[in-house]
Amino acid sequence: MVNSLTTIVLAMHGVPPKDFPRSELSELMKLHMAMDHGHGHDTNLELKTRHNELEVKIRTWKRTSQNDPFWTASQSLGAALSRKTGYEVIVGFNEFCGPSIEEALSEAVSRSATEVIVITPMMTPGGEHSEVDIPEAIERAKEKHPDVTFRYAWPFKETDVVSFLAEQLSNH
C-alpha cells in the first residue's frame, strides 16, 4: 500500500519533444540564454513575456513515446520507483517538460504529503540542476509550506555510484 504521507519527487532533466517547432525552440533557447546570463534584468517586458509563452508551450506540449522517449522513460522510472518504495512518486522536470520541479513539489503538498523526498538520477556533482536549481526549488517550497518536511536525497556517495556502475558492467 502506498504511504500517502510521504511522497517522492523524481527530479529529471527534460528534453524538447522531437516535434516541437524548431524555430520556436531556437527562439526559446536564445531568450533563455539572455535571461540566464545576466541580461534578465535588462530584458524588456515583451521579451520576458515571449519567453514565458514559449516556456509554457514547450512544457505543456503533448508527449508520447515517439516524440519524447526521455519523458516516457522518466514516467516509467517514476512508476517503478513507486512500486519499489511503496511511496507515491511525482515526476518533475528541470527543463522543457511539465510539470516543473516546483509544480511537482506543489502537487505533492496538494496531495496531503507531510514529507516530500526529492531524488534525481543525476549521479555526479558539478551539475547546475542537481547542485543549484533543485535545491533552490526545494528552498522555495519550504518557504511556501513550512509545515511540510522536504528532504533532498542527493548527492550520492561516490562509492555507491561506482558500485552501481560496476554492477552494470557485469549485466551487459
Q: Do 33 and 10 belong to one domain?
A: no
Q: Do 11 and 86 belong to one domain?
A: yes
Mean pLDDT by 10 residues, the chain (172 residues): 78 98 97 71 78 97 98 98 98 97 98 97 94 97 97 96 95 84
143 is written with which cell numbers? 518557504
Q: Do 80 and 34 belong to one domain?
A: no
Q: Do 88 and 135 belong to one domain?
A: yes
What confidence score (pLDDT) does residue 110 get?
97
Q: Do 7 and 34 belong to one domain?
A: no
Q: Do 77 and 154 belong to one domain?
A: yes
pLDDT tens per residue, range 3-22:
459 999 999 999 999 999 99
Q: Do 157 and 101 belong to one domain?
A: yes
What confidence score (pLDDT) does residue 46 get?
85
Q: Do 7 and 88 belong to one domain?
A: yes
Q: Do 98 and 154 belong to one domain?
A: yes
| CATH code at position 130 | 3.40.50.1400
Q: Are 132 and 124 in contact (CB under 8 A)?
A: no
What confidence score (pLDDT) does residue 41 get?
53
Q: Do 39 and 83 belong to one domain?
A: no
What confidence score (pLDDT) does residue 172 get?
83
Domains identified in the chain, total number: 2
Q: Do 42 and 92 belong to one domain?
A: no
Q: Which residues contact 150 (CB under 8 A, 6 or more apart)?
A: 105, 115, 116, 118, 138, 141, 142
What confidence score (pLDDT) does residue 42 get?
54
What confidence score (pLDDT) does residue 163 get?
96
Q: Which domain holds residue 111?
A: 3-15+67-171
What confidence score (pLDDT) does residue 40 get?
46
Q: Do 51 and 129 belong to one domain?
A: no
